Amino acid sequence: MAISKALQFLPIDRLFLDPQNPRLGRDKRRIGLDQTQLLQEMSSWTLEELVDSFAQAGGFWTQDALIVVSEKVDGKDTGGFIVIEGNRRLAALKLLYGAQAGKLEPPRWLSERLATFKPALDDDIFQHLPVLVADSRDDVLAYLGFRHVTGIKEWRPAEKAEFISSLVDEKKLSFREVARQIGSRSDTVRQNYLAFKMLLQMEEMEDFDWSEVESRFSLLFLSIRSEGTRSFLGVELKGDVPESAKPIPLEKQDDARQFATWLFGTKDHRAIVRDSRNVDKFGEILGTPRAVDYLVKATRPDFETAYSLTASADLVVDPLNEAARQIRLALSELSDRGTEDLVKEAAWPVIESGITLARYTGENLGRAREMLLAA
């Protein structure tokens, strides 16, 4: 049967939140949150828009049926169903229902809405929720992949990559087969898989700061398209099936530790790659031994300095662009500090260098004179 095509309507007390929901993140899924903890966690998931939608529509849209499976809840047989697709909608309803029943203290955003939207506990919105029953979680995988990896309700990058990895490792699908199932490209699937497996290896390293990964995973995903990065880490981005569950070879572990520090940062060291637009330049840095040597030896390595040591760096234009950016930043904060001796002392070398630059760059000297006369 896979996923039933026949709608059923169930009361809210027979439907339960999914402790394996990818949106929870790996750390929370490992803990195994119970239903109360899950609801508390999901209450911060921007559910306001869903409650507003329920209020406007006068209930739950039938076309947004929940997809459920029959499983134990918190290790017990309840006769209920775990919601695999639609956890945000169910969480919003459970918060609304619990507040109306006096079983929980509503978050502030919900308290504001309860002033105008207070459905009765026996209302259809709570007692007749549309559901489609699936035989198993496996039967929902293709739908989840299309909807959340390539579809309109995307998961975060790390969540997508983990889902893809599960299809490859647990279902033994090739990258091409996964791509067909979720409506993506096989090279994108391969890159997601490799990045996630690299991440799992880095997680085992000492001082690895997992807290930064969820927001910065896309940097890892993008970085491995660079030949310099792949060579530095000894990883391969080819084939239709993974060659190893641990793509970073043993002899590259120290390099991988450095790489993780530069890309993600640690509790003691700030990441040097702060912008996704710089990942290709980062690959050039990693492919240049003297630039890598600088990153390793510097107490507080700087991205621009490292890049200046690569063959692609323009040692005139790049530093001038960076100097202009820093001066604009200083001017934006200058305000009434221009008369301070410390500021004047720091400004003079910049002004003096500017005059020298104007002399070297021809017509800029005339433009500088005009600006001074107009000042």
**Which residue from 75, 56, 68, 58 is spatially nearest to 15, judged by alpha carbons?**
68
Domain identity same for 63 and 122 = yes
Positions of the chain with pLDDT lower than 70, given as ranges: 1, 60-63, 142-154, 183, 207-215, 313
| pLDDT, position 77 | 84
| pLDDT, position 72 | 85
Asked if residue 308 is part of any domain, the answer here is no
Q: In what order do the strands lie in the sheet with 129-133?
A: 8-10, 129-133, 66-69, 81-85, 15-16
| pLDDT, position 142 | 66
| pLDDT, position 325 | 84
List pLDDT tens digits, range 34-83: 999 999 998 888 888 888 888 877 776 666 788 888 888 888 888 889 99
Strand residue runs (E) in 128-225:
129-133
Domain count, the chain: 3
- Residue 275 has, within 13 A of its CA and on its CB side, a CA count of 5
| pLDDT, position 281 | 92
List pLDDT tens digits, range 193-240: 999 999 888 888 776 666 666 667 888 999 999 999 999 999 999 999
Among 79, 104, 135, the domain-final residue is 135
Contacts by residues 336-341 (CB-CB < 8 Å, ≥ 24 positions apart): none
Distances from the Cα of 160 to the Cαs of 145, 197, 218, in angstroms?
8, 13, 11
Residue with tokens 């880095």: 202
Asked if residue 293 is part of any domain, the answer here is no
Asked if residue 123 is part of any domain, the answer here is yes
The CATH number of the domain where 70 resides is what?
Answer: 3.90.1530
Look up residue 10 and give its two tokens: 């169930």
